[in-house]
Amino acid sequence: MADRYLSFTGTAPGRLLTRRLGLPRPVPLRRWSAEHPALDGRTLHLTAGRSALDLAPVLARTGPGGGTGAPAAVVLDATGVRDTDALAEVHAALHPVVRSVAACGRVVVLGSPLDPDDHHQSAAQQALEGFTRSLGKEIGGGRTVNLVRLTGADAAESTLRFLLSPKSAYVSGQVIAVGPGEPDPPADPERPLAGRTALVTGAARGIGAAVAETLARDGARVVVLDVPQAGADARALAERLGSTALALDITAPDAGARIADALPDGLDVLVHNAGITRDRRLVNMPAERWSQVVDVNLGAVLRTTDALLAAGALRDGGRIVATASIAGLAGNAGQTNYGTGKAGVAGLVRALAPHALARHGVTVNAVAPGFIETRMTAAIPLFLREAGRRMNSLSQGGLPIDVAETTAWLAHPSSGTVNGQVVRVCGQSLLGA
């Protein structure tokens, strides 16, 4: 369903009315397209504290193309901030330039992991999270602000490429940790998943379909998995992508074994997208409504992941991307079952990630969508729908492609240094952290 308020605020009467009444004034977001794959403008590189990073080569490869006008992106290297005095340098660096960042531009703050042996450094680096999230809520103009914790510049290349591009339009206020390691650059940067096989559950429509299409755009052979009842849609999508469909109830006890049998040559990317809602307040929720939602959204993810890892179906360098939700991170009335399942997904990711990487060479991450414009949200009553759209720093709902682009970044061959992360795709929702 079209966001009529967003369209209205772009007109002269809309601008006048919203300014006078102090109403939200969302800016249409700049998203990726083949015709305009990069932000227009230059990258401004600033430093606070004493940094040991050489960012110039990485930013030359990942940032917006160039130009002399307003900066499309500002990257603040704050990895050398180790005490409260250095925090003043954060203010000094960004205070003069924040107003000049182009509409739909990017601000990325680079920080360091917290040092458990230095409480001054830990305090100063933790302070960057509050700074980043606060700036994200006030900067406006469709701009995003994120914090990346890293130990080396090269390891963060895929993350910076994503955050400094139109693909991250609905990702803001996030703190992303990048571990050590060398990136694995793809042979073809335009088709980084070429030669790789991806399976997307719940892929017949909505967010799952967008994920399948985006992974196929990036070169993957995509297996479109959905329940038999959605078989026609799944087959139509698979035919359009030149791939295959797999009709399967993901909650079946043998789902993992059947997936492994269908992919005898192995799997490189596993996207757990299948999910359902059966909303009702806990006092009115029967046991079967609770159990069905928790089983689809969490139980099936656990069983299938365990089965595929045990069978060796995920190849070395593989990626698992699960779908959590801000309902699981912040809670939502009427969704105790859904919130339970989605919070469990976040717990699964954080616990499994180090073991999966060490034992199988596979990373495990999650995306946590906020209010995304789908057929499901279009059915929400008008008042609640409008509240969902406006209650984030970008004052609008996201699109399925926003979740898909974030998933594609986590699935990228060069994203092996990103592991155990739960990344919210919510326009920095005002609910939760």
DSSP string, 345-361: HHHHHHHHHHHHHHHHS
Tell which phi-psi region holds residue 49, choosing left (phi > 0), alpha (psi between -120 and 50) or beta. Answer: left
Which residues, other chains included, contact 70 with Cβ-Cβ below 8 Å and sequence gap of 6+?
A: 41, 100, 101, 102, 105
* pLDDT score at 432: 67
Pairwise pLDDT comparison (12 vs 320), residue with the higher score: 320
CA distances from 12 to 3, 23, 263, 331 (A): 17, 15, 55, 38
Q: Are residues 169 and 240 in the same domain?
A: no
Whether the pLDDT of residue 183 is over 90: the answer is no
The region that residue 116 occupies, defined by phi over 0 for left and psi between -120 and 50 for alpha, beta otherwise, is alpha
Active site residues: 338
Q: Among the three residues 146, 177, 208, which one is the final residue of a domain in this structure?
A: 177
What is the average per-residue pLDDT within 126-143?
A: 97
CB 260 within 8 A of CB 311: yes
Gap between the Cα atoms of 352 and 365, Å rounded: 9
pTM over 0.85: yes
Name the least confident of 165-169, 316-320, 377-381, 426-430.
Answer: 377-381
Evaluate if residue 433 carries a pLDDT over 60.
Answer: no
Identify whether the C-beta of residue 178 lies closer than 8 Å to the C-beta of residue 110. no
Q: Which two tokens stand for residue 299?
A: 């139980």
- Give the model confidence (pLDDT) of 313-343 as tens digits: 999 999 999 999 999 999 988 999 999 999 9
Give me the pLDDT at residue 383, please: 78
36, part of any domain: no
Q: How many domains does the chain divide into?
A: 3
Q: Is 413 left (phi over 0), alpha (psi -120 to 50) or beta?
A: alpha
Beta strands (DSSP E) in 157-279 are: 175-177, 197-201, 221-226, 244-247, 267-272
Domain annotation covers residue 246: yes
The sign of the CA dihedral 316, 266, 160, 66 is positive
Note whether residue 34 is domain-resident.
no
Whether 233 has a pLDDT exceeding 60, the answer reads yes
Please report which confidence band the pLDDT of residue 263 belongs to, taking 50, 70 and 90 as the band edges: very high
In a domain, 35, yes or no: no
- 79 within a domain of the structure (yes/no): yes
Q: Look up the domain containing 58 and give its range.
A: 41-177
The answer to whether 297 touches 275, Cβ cutoff 8 Å, is yes
Which pLDDT score is estimated for 378? 73
State mean pLDDT over 199-208. 97
CATH code for the domain of 295: 3.40.50.720
Both 173 and 244 in one domain: the answer is: no
pLDDT tens track for 41-60 = 999 999 999 998 999 889 98
Residue type, 212: A
